[in-house]
Amino acid sequence: MIKLYLKNKLNGYFSSVRGAVWLIVLPAVLIIIFYFFSSFSDIVIKKERSKMIDYEKRFAALKKDLPGHAFVNFVSNQDPIRDYFAARYVLIPARLLRGLEPQQNYLVAQFSDQTKPPDFKGYTLKKDYGNGVMLYSRSVD
């Protein structure tokens, strides 16, 4: 008796919202299919990959040399804002600060097309990773 009553009630409500449900579900399914094939095309056919993979590879050795959760200054001569946010993500758990102020114990520099590492006041070169990425430590005065 209750089952029949609920069935009649649900059929009554569902028929009134059936069109609205289809207007939501159908575009969502089509968007999912479109993005799947778009991603498949980019990755498999065009052989494109995320630029973050390049940052991961470039900063991998540096990440091992940084102390965890330390505040670190960051400078770059390429695209400072994009490089800062990418390095900030890649070097987690270190906390990057853009620029040279306030001075922290470490400085990460990304300078491409440099024949010799640049000098920064108050820092000495600790290690040059050879791919444009350098680690400086604060000089003891």
pLDDT in tens, 78-132: 888 888 999 999 999 999 999 888 889 999 998 877 667 778 888 988 898 888 8
d(CA 141, CA 127): 20
Pair (41, 95) in one structural domain: no
Distance CA 134, CA 117 (A): 8
Asked if residue 35 and residue 16 are part of one domain, the reply reads yes
How many structural domains are present in the chain? Answer: 2
Looking at the fold, whether 10 and 38 belong to one and the same domain comes out as yes
Could you list the residue range(s) of the whole structural domain that residue 43 is in?
1-48
What's the rounded Cα separation, in Å, for the pair 22 and 19?
5
Neighbours of 58 (CB within 10 A): 18
Together in a domain, 41 and 58: no
Residues 79 and 67 in one domain: yes
First to last CA, the chain: 89
* 44 and 56 within one domain: no
> Are residue 43 and residue 9 in the same domain, yes or no?
yes
Residue 141 clears pLDDT 90, i.e. is over it: no
pTM: 0.64
Is the CA virtual torsion 79, 58, 90, 66 positive or negative? negative
Domain identity same for 96 and 133: yes
